[in-house]
Amino acid sequence: MAPGQAGGACIGGAQEAGQARDGLRFVIVQDRPTAWACPQRHPARGAGLRHVRLRRPWQGRPVRAKPRTGRSDQPPTARGRKGVQGRGELRDQPPTSRSRTTTHRAGFGAKPQPHLSPIPDGFREGVGWGQKGSRAEPRGFGARQGLLPARTRGGPRGGTDRHTQRRTREALMDLLIRNARVIDGTGTPSYPADVGITDGRIAAIRKPGEPPLSDTGPRTRTLDAHGLALSPGFIDMHAHSDLALLRDPDHSAKAAQGVTLEVLGQDGLSYAPVDDRTLGEVRRAITGWNGDGSDIDFDWRTVGEYLDRLDRGIAVNAAYLIPQGTVRMHAVGWDDRPATPQQLDHMRELVAQGMEEGAVGMSSGLTYTPGMYATDSELTELCRVVARYDGYYCPHHRSYGAGALEAYEEMMRLTRDAGCSLHLAHATMNFGVNKGRAPELLTLLDDALASGADISLDTYPYTPGCTTLVAMLPSWASEGGPEAILARLRDDDTAERVRHHMEVVGADGCHGVPIDWSTIEISGVSDPGLTDCVGKTVAEAAAQRGEAPWTTARRLLVDDGLGSTILQHVGHEENVRAIMRHPVHTGGSDGILQGDKPHPRAYGTFPHYLGHYTRELGILSIEETVAHLTSRPAARLRLPDRGLVREGYRADLVLFDPDTVAAGSTFEAPRTLPVGIPYVLIDGKFVIEDGRRTDVLAGRSVRRTPGVR
What CATH number does the domain containing 302 carry? Answer: 3.20.20.140
> Of the residues 117, 137, 171, which one is the last residue of a structural domain?
117
- Are residues 457 and 548 located together in one domain of the fold? no
- Are residues 457 and 544 located together in one domain of the fold? no
Helix or strand or coil: residue 298? coil
Lowest-pLDDT choice from 146-150, 184-188, 536-540, 705-709:
146-150
- The answer to whether residue 133 is domain-embedded is no
Q: How confident is the model at residue 95 (pLDDT cuts 50, 70, 90)?
A: very low
- The answer to whether residue 85 is domain-embedded is yes
**How far, in Å, are 22, 142, 211, 523, 594 from residue 66 at the CA level?**
12, 13, 30, 59, 51
The whole domain housing 503 covers: 468-568
Is residue 365's pLDDT more than 80? Answer: yes
What pLDDT, in 10s, does the model give residues 621-653?
999 999 999 999 999 999 999 999 999 999 999
DSSP 503: I
What pLDDT, in 10s, does the model give residues 587-621?
999 999 988 889 999 999 999 999 999 999 999 99
> Of the residues 551, 568, 585, which one is the last residue of a structural domain?
568
Domain tally, the chain: 3
The residues, ordered by sequence, that sit 6+ positions from 306 with a Cβ below 8 Å of its Cβ are 271, 272, 300, 320
- Are residues 73 and 108 located together in one domain of the fold? yes
- The answer to whether residue 247 is domain-embedded is yes
How far is the first Cα of the chain from the last one, in angstroms, to the nearest whole number? 23
Share of the chain above pLDDT 70, in %: 75
Helix or strand or coil: residue 87? coil
- Are residues 561 and 579 located together in one domain of the fold? no
Mean pLDDT, rounded, of the chain = 81
> Of the residues 514, 533, 568, which one is the last residue of a structural domain?
568
- Are residues 475 and 609 located together in one domain of the fold? no
Lowest-pLDDT choice from 25-34, 58-67, 690-699:
25-34
- Are residues 442 and 543 located together in one domain of the fold? no
- Are residues 424 and 478 located together in one domain of the fold? no
- The answer to whether residue 350 is domain-embedded is yes
Q: Of residues 219 and 21, which shows the higher confidence score?
A: 219
Share of the chain above pLDDT 90, in %: 69
pLDDT for 217 equals 72
- Reported pTM: 0.78
Instruction: Kindly list the strands in the beta sheet with 50-53, ordered across the sheet, starting from the edge strand earlier in the chain.
Output: 20-21, 24-29, 50-53
**How far, in Å, are 79, 226, 258 from residue 193 at the CA level?**
34, 10, 20
